Amino acid sequence: MKIEKVDIVVVGAPWRELTIIELTTDTGLTGLGEVRMVNKTDTLIAAIEELAARYVIGMDPANLTRLAWQIQVGEYGLPGEVGQSALAAFDMACWDILGKELNVPIWKLLGGKFRDRVPAYANGWYQGDRDPKIIQKLAKGVVEKGYRGLKIDPFGAASAEISRSERKRALTILEAVREAVGPDVQIFLEMHGRFTGAAARAVARDVIDVEPGWLEEPVTPTDITSLRSVRQSTHLPIASGERMHEAHDLRPFIEEGLVDIYQIDLTHAGGITGLQQLVGWTNAYNVLLAPHNVCGPIGTAAALHFSVACPNFMILEHFNDFADPWVFDIVAGAPRIDPADGCFAAPTAAGLGVTLNREECSKHPRTGGRLALFSEGWEKRTNVENYTEGKQS
């Protein structure tokens, strides 16, 4: 079996563009991959087209480690976010083909079922003004959908420093969320790498009584010195990893015990194969994996299959119930959480278990929408104008 065709479809929304690929083999089997590239969709498409012509057309979809070597090593230049994301799209689609060929869900090929239920937490739900009463009402809606965890960045457009009044505002929002969801729902604090070490330490002190499930990227992901100072100043768990793209990126954090939960995104880290290679390493150091997932239903399905089989899995991120909920319709078989327990069920269909609906995709053309975390109003995720250059701080 050989791959003979690569198609690219881009689905647009005000704050993200989903780059979808479909591989077709000479036997008629097809496989899907999906990447939400942060603000560089054109760059990703160019990489997919160039690498597909060089390595993917004509390959056996089973030769995944060889494909990874070609892109990561054979190209000589370091792959980085773009190369690893292109590889992830190919890898995901190849796994989909292999599952279909063998007529089994992908998790059966990853070591089998470790769990029947995959817990999820909500993101993208706080699309309102930074008013505690507004955010509190939105948080109640998350719990009503069944989620037992939710994530929030209450810091507005803060960068590096944050004033005492803004810290108080953020804390008031978090306290309102805690009041809304009760003591047993996890609140994960997203810090988006905004802060200096000093500012992050101050925030960590402020939020102790809210008891967040983790502090996510309290400082920029490459600032090991500042992260070390945060680690030493708080007992709260630290999460990071969505901007770590290759295995060696984790090395200093693992060796120093700086991170408790690794949020590696399989769509930016070489796909299912890339993330699967990290399972034994992270498990040996007694740390958890909570995959970052800002994709539509195809990327979510890939992360779900991985999560079913991963022994040191914690929880899976999910946007699609709150940000662009129409995105479920771009495929048949989209994964959805069960409102009874806030979990995904283990998939049963062959491959990824989803089928592309091209007609629905065509209803949502590219928008140019992007994530601009240091612009006022970014958290609303509803208006492309929130992301124009003129509104950058």
Catalytic residue among 192, 305, 318, 364: 192
Catalytic residue among 245, 268, 292, 364: 292
Q: Which residues contact 341 (CB under 8 A, 6 or more apart)?
A: 117, 119, 146, 148
Question: What letter would DSSP give residue 146?
Answer: T
Give the residue from 338, 254, 344 showing the smallest Cα distance to 307: 344
Half-sphere exposure of 334 (CA within 13 A, CB side): 18
Question: What gap in Å lies between CA 191 and CA 289, rounded to an integer?
Answer: 18
For the chain, the maximum distance between any two Cα atoms, rounded to a whole number of angstroms, is 63
Question: What gap in Å lies between CA 226 and CA 100, rounded to an integer?
Answer: 46
Q: Which residues contact 196 (CB under 8 A, 6 or more apart)?
A: 160, 161, 219, 226
292 is catalytic: yes
Give the residue from 289, 291, 271 showing the smallest Cα distance to 280: 289
| Number of other residues whose CB lies within 10 A of the CB of residue 61 | 24
- Can you give the length of the chain in residues? 393
CB 344 within 8 Å of CB 316:
yes
Question: What gap in Å lies between CA 272 and CA 108, rounded to an integer?
Answer: 13
21: its two tokens: 């690929």
CB 224 within 8 Å of CB 254:
no
105: burial class by Cβ within 10 Å (0-12, 13-18, 19+)?
buried
SS3 110: coil
Question: What gap in Å lies between CA 313 and CA 249, rounded to an integer?
Answer: 19
CA 268 to chain centre: 9
Q: Supply the residues annotated as catalytic.
A: 192, 292
